[in-house]
Structure formats: structure tokens, C-alpha cells
Amino acid sequence: MLVADPLPGTPTLATYGASHDNLINGNQLSNDGPIGNEIHAGIVPAFLGAIVVLNGTYNNTISNNAIGSATGGGLVWAQAVPSSSPVLGVVAYPPVLHCNVTASEGGGGIANLNGNVWVGNTSIKPIDSCIPAQ
């Protein structure tokens, strides 16, 4: 699951604004993620995870979700990094880019996790270190 807004500083963000005030609650997630061919072709973004809150999106609540297997992390807070890649336009997986958010479109800023709340989630995959303990 991906809660995202356009990359910081883009005309799309200026026109449509950031994604905000979403509720991701009570889901059971298990996926195997992309296949090896997709990874080797460079068409998988580096912010891979089961539930990803991306870029400057704010005031989202991610609560009481159960995460099984997933490629990447269980809960991820990240910012896409632009790349000259003609396919994605952002850095591809690997490396894994997590906890690298520098953009805030609201929610009290980065020090306040952009107002995003993660609570009561369980995951067998790692949870980003910048996300509060569940």
C-alpha cells in the first residue's frame, strides 16, 4: 500500500497538492513483491515496503495492520530520490531508501513525522527506525 504525493518541487505537486488525511486501518498484508526480473530491469523503486508513506504527504494514520511477508520493509517512511533513469525517474532498488524524508507539505513538519501516525501495527518485516515503536 502506498500513500504518496508528487516529488517535492514539481509542477504536479504545485497543481494538485499533497496527499493527506488518509486512514489505513485493520488490513492484513502479505505479498512477495516484485519478481527478480523487475528488480534486475531497474523498474522497482528504492522505497519498497508493505505500507509506504512517501514524500511530503501528511496527517495520515496507519493503524492496526498486520504485515506478513513483503519485499523491503514492513512499514516505510521515505522520500523518492530523483534519478536520470529513463524508466522510473527515481533511484531503483537496491539500495533501500528509508527514513530519508526532507519534504513536509503539512502536519507540523519532519520533526513531527509530518503528522503521520503509526500505531498498533505488527510486522514480521523490519519497521523503519524513524517510525515509532508499535
Q: Where are the domains of the chain?
A: 2-123
The Cβ-side half-sphere exposure at 29, using a 13 Å CA radius, reads 28
Alpha-carbon gap, residue 117 to 50, rounded angstroms: 16
Residue among 98, 89, 94 nearest 12 (CA): 89
Q: What is the pLDDT along the chain (134 residues), one digit of tens a residue?
A: 999 999 888 899 999 999 999 999 999 988 767 878 888 888 999 999 999 999 999 999 999 999 987 788 899 999 999 998 778 889 998 888 999 999 999 999 999 999 999 999 999 999 999 999 99
- What is the value of pTM for the model shown? 0.91
